[in-house]
């Protein structure tokens, strides 16, 4: 009887492992295909051979500028920002055990946005200074939210409520800044707030790339501990997890990469909100969905950018498309949560 139970457990684990590997590989293949599509499509469609030649450093008439200077940085920005938004959203939703507890809703990206808009509207600062201020704004916001929600003990509900309140306050600040801004500054601020890959340059992407390459592996390595935190404070502690230390490392790593992503592309709507739930549904239980969530984030950003560029007569920033895709999901989630409360 015991052997049969063990066999069933092993068979179930193997099935879940195969599902995890299959889903992750499929998401990686889709991401890779979208990267090549980003490089090939534009006003002029270049064949794969020309794109490869440009990436290898060869000079190809027309393609060298279009692919190397415009499309490649745009693609790289989408990949690293999408991965950053995806895994950061998953970390906060899992750690706080609430699908609404993502960096967009609890005010972290809004803090970055408020700092950036202040620099654009009031200080008329350069793009580099705006990026630095955006990072600092995100870090300061998360520190304030954490300190206000700490109390005598850590409270998930208190953190979410305070985060939502901070977000509402910062949105009011952004609206006021836009009202008092000069006409030539407001379009720049609005373009940044909408979330866009337009005008991405490699020189401005190195900070994001380095930060993601350093801190994303830390989050991935802590994936199992993150899933244990979802079981609750007492259960995680009984399983040998140092909850405060693990939570602190995850928060710092997530905030840094999402602050850099927001500073680079602006707050691309709903990517952090959608990536985790989609990845969890695809992967199922038994394995951490950190990597799949990052890949889903890449797919959402790149696919939405392609839709915004080529699906309509006018061209729309990527954040507009992700906002359209994410709004119905948010409404359905709120309706579902309301029904659970009624039951």
Residues 6+ apart with CB under 8 A from 38: 71, 74, 75, 78, 302, 305, 306
- In this predicted structure, the answer to whether residue 157 has a pLDDT above a threshold of 80 is no
The average confidence (pLDDT) of the chain is 83
Question: Distance between CA 195 and CA 317 in Å, rounded?
Answer: 6
Other Cβ atoms less than 10 A from the Cβ of 127: the count is: 16
Decide: 80 and 212 in contact? Cβ < 8 Å.
yes
- The pTM assigned to this predicted structure is 0.87
pLDDT-derived band at 234 (thresholds 50, 70, 90) equals confident
Question: Distance between CA 88 and CA 83 in Å, rounded?
Answer: 8
- Alpha-carbon distances, residue 3 vs 9, 70, 293 (angstroms): 10, 60, 36
Q: Taking residues 197-212, report their average pLDDT.
A: 87
Residues 6+ apart with CB under 8 A from 84: 208, 212, 216, 257, 258, 260, 261, 294, 297
- In this predicted structure, the answer to whether residue 46 has a pLDDT above a threshold of 90 is no
Q: Taking residues 248-257, report their average pLDDT.
A: 86
**Tell me: the pLDDT tens digits for 303-328?**
999 998 888 888 888 888 888 887 77
Residue 296's pLDDT is what?
Answer: 94
pLDDT-derived band at 300 (thresholds 50, 70, 90) equals very high
Q: Taking residues 215-227, report their average pLDDT.
A: 89
Decide: 270 and 327 in contact? Cβ < 8 Å.
yes
């Amino acid at each position: 009887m015991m052997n049969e139970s063990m066999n069933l457990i092993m068979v179930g684990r193997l099935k879940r492992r195969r599902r995890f590997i299959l889903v992750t590989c499929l998401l990686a293949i889709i991401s890779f295909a979208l990267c090549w599509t980003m490089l090939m499509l534009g006003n002029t469609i270049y064949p794969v051979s020309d794109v490869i030649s440009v990436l290898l450093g060869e000079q190809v008439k027309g393609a060298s500028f279009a692919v190397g200077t415009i499309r490649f940085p745009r693609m790289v920005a989408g990949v690293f920002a999408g991965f950053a938004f995806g895994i950061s959203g998953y970390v906060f939703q899992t750690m706080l055990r609430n699908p609404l507890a993502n960096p967009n809703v609890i005010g972290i990206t809004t803090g970055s946005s408020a700092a950036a808009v202040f620099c654009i509207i009031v200080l008329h600062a350069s793009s580099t200074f705006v990026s630095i201020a955006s990072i600092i704004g995100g870090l300061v916001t998360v520190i304030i939210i954490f300190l206000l929600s700490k109390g005598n003990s850590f409270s998930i509900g208190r953190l979410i409520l305070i985060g939502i309140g901070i977000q509402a306050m910062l949105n009011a600040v952004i609206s006021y800044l836009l009202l008092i801004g000069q006409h030539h500054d407001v379009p720049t601020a609005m373009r940044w707030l909408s979330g866009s890959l337009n005008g991405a340059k490699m020189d401005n992407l190195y900070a994001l790339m380095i930060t993601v390459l350093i801190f994303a592996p830390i989050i991935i390595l802590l994936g199992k501990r993150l899933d244990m935190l979802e079981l609750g404070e007492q259960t995680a502690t009984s399983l040998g997890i140092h909850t405060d230390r693990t939570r602190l490392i995850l928060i710092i790593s997530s905030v840094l990469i999402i602050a850099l992503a927001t500073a680079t592309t602006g707050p691309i709507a709903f990517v952090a909100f959608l990536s985790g739930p989609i990845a969890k549904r695809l992967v199922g239980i038994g394995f951490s969905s950190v990597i799949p969530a990052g890949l889903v984030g890449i797919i959402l950003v790149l696919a939405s950018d392609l839709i915004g560029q080529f699906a309509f007569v006018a061209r729309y920033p990527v954040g507009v498309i992700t906002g359209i895709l994410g709004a119905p999901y948010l409404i359905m989630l709120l309706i579902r949560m309301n029904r659970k409360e009624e039951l």
